[in-house]
Amino acid sequence: MCPKLTTGKCRRNSEELERRDQSVSTAKKAPQRQCIGCGEMKNKRDLIRILKGADDSITIDATGRKNGRGAYLCPSMECFKRAVKGKGLERSFKTAIPKEVYENLEKEMERLGRQE
């Protein structure tokens, strides 16, 4: 039996609840994604999402909310070149990617790099 407090609640349960409250932080954790170029885990918001849509078109998803399969990439050209060389996009999307798509993505990455 646990010793009763004057309020009638069990002392052991109230102490346990206090410990839980102290150990649990109220801050939300940011979702983590892996860059297909360098392989580092980073916050989802820090990465660029490359999207394969239902019509098999491959584009950059600026909002991060469009429907389709996504792959994440650091906003540097170095990581983009590593992803191309290591065939990270082809592995993520499970399909062969034409050279024209890589060229278009490179132009969009350069444009995004200038805006930031």
- Tens of pLDDT along 79-114? 999 999 999 999 999 999 999 999 999 998 888 877
What gap in Å lies between CA 98 and CA 87, rounded to an integer? 12
CA distances (Å), origin 28, targets 24, 31, 37, 39, 108: 11, 9, 27, 24, 32
In three-state secondary structure terms, 51 is strand
Q: Specify the amino acid at residue 5.
A: L
Q: Count the helices and strands in the chain (H runs, E runs).
A: 4, 5
Average pLDDT over residues 39-50: 95
**Cα atoms in the Cβ-side hemisphere of radius 13 Å centred on 56:** 6
- Tens of pLDDT along 5-32? 555 556 566 666 566 655 556 788 999 9
| pTM greater than 0.85 | no
Average pLDDT over residues 48-59: 94
Domains and CATH numbers, the chain: 32-115 (3.30.1230.10)
